[in-house]
Amino acid sequence: MISFPYPALFFISLCTLAYELILMRLFSIVQWYHFAYMVISVSLLGFAASGTLLAALNIRKGRQSQRNMFGLYFLLISFLMLLFIPITFFIAQKIPFSPFELAWQKKQFLYLCGYYFLFLIPFFLAGCFVGLSFIYCKENVARVYCCNMIGSSAGVLVAFISFYWIPPKMLLFVPMLLSFCALLCCFSREGGGGRSVYAVVAATGAVFLSIWIMWGGISLNISPYKGISHCLQLPGARLEYEGYSPLGLLQVVSSPSLRDAPGLSLKYTKSTPTQKALFMDGNANGVVTEFNNDRSSLEYLDYATFSLGYHLVFPGRVLILKPEGETQILGSYFHGYDQIKAIESHRDILSLLKGPLNSFTQNIYNNNQHIQVEASSPREYLAGQNSRYDIIQLGLTGSLGGGGGGIYATEENYVYTIEAFQEYFKHLNPDGILTASAWLNNPPRSFLKLITLAIETLEREVQTEIGLSFAAIRSWGTGTVVLKRGIFSPEDISKIRIFCEKRGFDPVYFSGIHPKEVNKYNILERPLYYDSSIHLLDQDTREQFYAGYIFNVRPPTDDKPYFSHYFKLSAISYLLKTLGRDWIPFLEWGYIILWGTLVQVLVFAPIFIFLPLFFIKKGSKPRMLMKGRNFVFFSLLGLAFMFLEMAFVQRFIFLLNHPIYALALIIFTLTLFSGIGSLSSQSLGKKGVYLPFTAIMVLICFYIFCLDPLLKTLLNCTVIWKSLSAVFLLAPLAFFMGMPFPLGLQVVSNRNSEYIPWIWGINGLASVVAPVLGSLLIVNIGFYPLMFVSLALYLFAFLFFYSIFPKCPQRDQDKIPL
């Protein structure tokens, strides 16, 4: 009989998680993040499929010959993973899939299925490996689960480090190498056909890996519809810089035909300076403007709506938050402010401005005494200091004409929440102003949400009538809101009028505005922004407005920080009636894709749940009852685990500033300590088996009440401290969360080991359904309700476990048979 290759299982688990994250990264570059999410989520059904196959084959660790075959299975699976990881990606790149054409090209669905099928293969193989491990070590499932979890946590670390050091085209080398390591660890003298088979497979794997390295990786075929592809077609376009990190692939393109001036007034008649375009994962991410120490070359920036603030308060200290490139920084510099502080949350962009592009900008971000740029998030920066400013300005949000197609609908954004605006407002000097701008889209949504955000912030912060401290203007493409710490004087109002008149902008609202002023230059069918502002400023009609407006324009809060989420489920029939089926997805791709993914996963789910049952011996009614209980128990566990993971990722983005950092840290902590918890579950006594459930529920209550204050306290710490604190905060919960699954599986395994593959499939299915469902829930109900949902799920799981456990035959009265 072969000795179980725990190192191989560790490497396969490591490889699988690293592969998943790397695939997501590569897919985000060649296509779009949300399509990547959908494709990979559906492909993860490979895990569930592996459970079904193992149940169908009825593989059991029975006879000696069968036992020896396990060695060969492990070896072959590792080898096939090594082969299929690059091959599937290579073939997928040949598929002409274009997500935008899904609405009318039926063959695109065929291509999409091709993607699913291809990417399902590696996950299916990995699932088979882990499932077989559970079957082989059915007496010690906790150890297998521990090895699987610790391998997964290491996978997160490896992928994260790879993003820093390995160029995207070579990234697949990492999971390939890891599967090769697993292959090497599969060596067993007793099993799998002996040394000769092993030597041939290992040598072939080594040759394949070497060929792949010599080939130089896989060149990425970026979609022709991505910003970078368009830009590189411009005359004289040149890719000037390419850098990568976990934040993404940062590229800089130069071309004489590149000109960016967001929402520029139509009354501006002069030229604009030369620029270079920034792209993150192939998507436009602002521009860098050439500066030759001549301020007059920046005059065009005074013809944008965001410049209004500079005409109201001068001189003064300016704070620019999230400048997106450096348009706002140069805008304030043009006006002659001598104390400009800018907070750039994207460290890679800041390094670029201060490094490779410093000659293009005349070193303005390194050596200019008036400008200071710092890498931080707005909330983080303000939490650590008491300075006050005369102008606080936020960069432009949204995209031109909703050009992004709402792909950011489910992205957490803690910069645009009521709590964030309150924080900004508190850092204003008396008579200071806070300004924020958004692209206008049609039907109106993003700027309207900015208006509601401004109004509700003022309501919490000022004692006087809100309308006296609020102003808003719009051009053909952008809108700007201004919140004053104090009230707008008649002189201020006059300045706003002059600013708009000179540039062909329309006022949306200011104290004493006349309806005739609001729809003069940029004519709407009805002055919707003005009408909405009037309704929103009146507390009595505000709720009615939120309820009746076709989109969700309620201001985001820290609990639901989704500024770009406008979709209202209650309005779906109305939207279908007015916009038509083809239009809805384009309003909010990100959100629709989540629903689409959930539907697809649920369509496949019954196959993976019910098919294996045909292969398990039919039994009496109690046995059927047992099946139902098992299904419910393990589904509850999977859902609860993933819901908590989703909730913590959302919350820790607030602390760590970027989804990728939060995702990596949370998955790493949860999997690592769950693995340790799984191992510790072996030593639980009979009475102790209820401990993990109780501990989990108590800890969830603790997080509900204490997490937010703790995160706010930690906000100003260094990254290292933040990360260590996050691990320390989550470790106890993760430790206990790792126990219920092996405990339950062991009970089932002792009773009937035929159920193991089926339960493995259920676990795989839950790990696909739960993240998607969790994302939808958190967007719609927020963080706290999702925590309560998880609490309830664990409570039900506990009740089910209680109903299963006492009936389990015990080998030992004091210990659970592990």
Q: Tell me the closest approach of the beta carbon of residue 503 to another protein, in angstroms.
A: 11
Query: Which residues, 6+ apart, have CB-to-CB distance to 294 below 8 Å?
Result: none
Least Å distance, CB 555 to another protein, is 16
Nearest approach in angstroms of CB 648 to another protein is 34
- How near is the Cβ of 401 to another protein at its closest, in Å? 3
C-alpha to C-alpha distances, 434 to 315, 475, 695, nearest whole angstrom: 15, 19, 45
Nearer to another protein, 221 or 810 (CB): 221
Cβ closest to another protein, residue 200 vs residue 239 = 239
- C-beta of 11 vs 591, nearer to another protein: 591
Residue 714 and residue 379 in contact, taking contact as beta carbons nearer than 8 Å: no
Q: How far apart are CB 572 and another protein at their closest, in Å?
A: 14
Nearer to another protein, 32 or 643 (CB): 32
Q: Around 86, how many Cα atoms within 13 Å sit in the side-chain half-sphere?
A: 26
Query: Please, what is the minimum distance in Å from the beta carbon of residue 660 to another protein?
Result: 25
Closer residue to another protein (CB): 105 or 366: 105
Question: Minimum distance between the CB of residue 79 and another protein, rounded to whole angstroms?
Answer: 39
- At closest approach, how far in Å is the CB of 567 from another protein? 15
Q: How far apart are CA 112 and CA 254, in angstroms?
A: 34
- Kindly tell me which of 38 and 146 has the beta carbon lying closer to another protein: 38
Residue with tokens 């792209």: 279
Q: Least distance to another protein from the beta carbon of 227, Å?
A: 9
Place of tokens 């400048």: 323
**Please, are residues 416 and 554 in contact by the beta-carbon 8 Å criterion?**
no
Give least dist CB 236 to another protein, A: 10
Q: Residue 370 or 520: which CB sits closer to another protein? A: 520
Who's near 73: CB < 8 A, 6+ residues apart? 128, 132, 192
Orientation of helix 141-165 relative to helix 6-30, angle to 10°: 40
Q: Would you say 261 or 795 has its CB closer to another protein?
A: 261
Cα gap 310→302, rounded to integer Å: 9
**Strands (E) located in 255-356:** 275-280, 283-289, 317-321, 339-344
Our CB check for another protein shows the closer of 182 and 592 to be: 592
Smaller CB separation from another protein, 386 or 573: 573
**SS3 letters for 725-746?**
HHHHHHHHHHHHHCCHHHHHHH
- DSSP code for 583: T
Please say which residue, 68 or 229, places its beta carbon nearer to another protein.
229
In angstroms, what is the minimal distance from the CB of 257 to another protein?
A: 5
Instruction: Copy the structure tokens of residue 362.
Output: 């005349």
Q: In the bound complex, what is the minimum distance in angstroms from residue 353's beta carbon to another protein? A: 20
Radius of gyration of the chain (CA): 29
Residue 245 CB, shortest distance to another protein, in Å, is 26
**Minimal distance, residue 563 CB to another protein, in Å:** 18
Is residue 638 within 8 Å of 766, Cβ to Cβ? yes
CB closer to another protein, 123 vs 549: 549
Maximum distance among all Cα pairs of the chain, rounded to whole angstroms: 93
Among positive and negative, which fits the CA dihedral 225, 227, 232, 233?
Answer: positive
* Token duo for residue 811: 């080998």
Q: Quick check: 320 and 341 in contact, CB under 8 A?
A: yes
Choice between 384 and 401, CB closer to another protein: 401
Smallest separation, CB 189 to another protein (Å): 57
Distance CA 446, CA 478 (A): 10
- List b or e across 767-800, with b for residues whose CB sees 16 or more CB atoms inside 10 angstroms: bbbbbbbbbbbbbbebbbebbebbbebbbbbbeb
CA end-to-end span of the chain: 20
- Which residue number, 569 or 624, has a Cβ lying nearer to another protein? 569
Identify which of residues 236 and 512 has a Cβ nearer to another protein in the complex: 236
Q: CB-based contacts of 183: which residues, under 8 Å, 6+ apart? A: 8, 75, 78, 79, 82, 201, 202, 205
φ, ψ dihedrals at 469, nearest 5°: -110, 10
Taking the complex as a whole, the smallest distance from the CB of residue 4 to another protein amounts, in Å, to: 52
Long-range CB pairs of 265-271 (<8 Å, 24+ gap) are 265/303, 265/304, 265/475, 265/503, 265/504, 265/505, 266/476, 266/504, 267/303, 267/502, 267/503, 267/504, 268/300, 268/303, 268/503, 270/299, 270/300
Tell me the closest approach of the beta carbon of residue 539 to another protein, in angstroms.
Answer: 15
Quick one: CA dihedral 472, 287, 311, 458, positive or negative?
A: positive
Nearer Cβ to another protein, position 290 or 531? 531
Taking the C-alpha atoms of 41, 775, 600 and 95 in order, what is their torsion angle to the nearest 10 degrees? -40
Q: Quote the crossing angle between the two packed helices 64-94 and 107-136, to the nearest 10°.
A: 160
For another protein, the closer CB: 229 or 810? 229
Q: How far is the CB of 442 from another protein (least distance, A)?
A: 4
Pick 250 or 264: Cβ nearer another protein: 264
Q: Evaluate whether 352 touches 243 at the Cβ level (below 8 Å).
A: yes
The two structure tokens encoding residue 9: 């299982």
* Distance, CA of 428 to chain centre: 32
CA distance 594 to 33: 12
CA nearest to 129, candidates 212, 256, 16: 16
**Binding residues for another protein, per CB under 8 A?**
98, 100-101, 103-104, 223-226, 229-230, 233-235, 256-257, 259-264, 266-272, 400-405, 440-443, 476-477, 504, 520-526, 528, 531, 535, 544-545, 547-550, 574, 578-580, 582-583, 586
